[in-house]
């Protein structure tokens, strides 16, 4: 079942690269009592994700801050080492975007956002989406119909609905 507006996020543990190495991040703790944007991409360093999706949230971060968003989180089914390198290479980390890894696709599968694209080498990856979450509940969910598109799930697309 795919998550919908009004649903509570499931308990999930993602992974972030810290100064001591990979560290677990309880998504419930990140969202409890907070307004958080979570956007997901099919893969770090993939063309649309790298050139459009992440940059859209870097461009709009100040506008999200102005709307009371406490944190913007990028999730991908990649390992935390890749997510750290990707955050550094795009400038997302310096822009204040939190890069979290869903290495086993557990969160992605739990919310029904997983897909496979074997010809592209993408297995158990995340569909492209963006959501506004308030105190653990999905308030806005923008899901792309095609993983190669980045329109409604871009920073500007989510901002237009807030």
Could you give the residue numbers annotated as active site?
49
For the chain, the first-to-last Cα distance in angstroms comes to 25
Distance (Å, rounded) from C-alpha 40 to C-alpha 111?
12
**DSSP-H helix ranges across the chain:** 27-31, 47-48, 54-66, 80-90, 92-95, 106-110, 155-159
Q: CB of 4 within 8 A of CB of 125?
A: no
């Amino acid at each position: 079942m795919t998550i919908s507006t009004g649903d509570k996020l499931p308990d999930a543990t993602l992974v972030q690269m810290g100064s001591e190495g990979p560290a677990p991040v309880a998504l419930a703790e990140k969202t409890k009592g907070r307004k958080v944007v979570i956007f997901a991409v099919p893969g770090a360093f993939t063309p649309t994700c790298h050139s459009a999706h992440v940059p859209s949230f870097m461009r709009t971060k100040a506008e999200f801050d102005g709307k009371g968003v406490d944190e913007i989180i990028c999730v991908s089914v990649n390992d935390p080492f890749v997510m750290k390198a990707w955050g550094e290479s795009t400038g997302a980390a310096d822009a204040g975007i939190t890069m979290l890894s869903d290495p086993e696709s557990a969160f992605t599968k739990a919310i029904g956002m997983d897909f496979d694209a074997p010809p592209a080498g993408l297995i158990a990856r995340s569909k492209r989406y963006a959501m506004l979450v308030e105190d653990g509940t999905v308030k806005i969910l923008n899901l792309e119909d095609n993983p190669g598109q980045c329109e409604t799930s871009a920073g500007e697309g989510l901002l237009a609905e807030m």
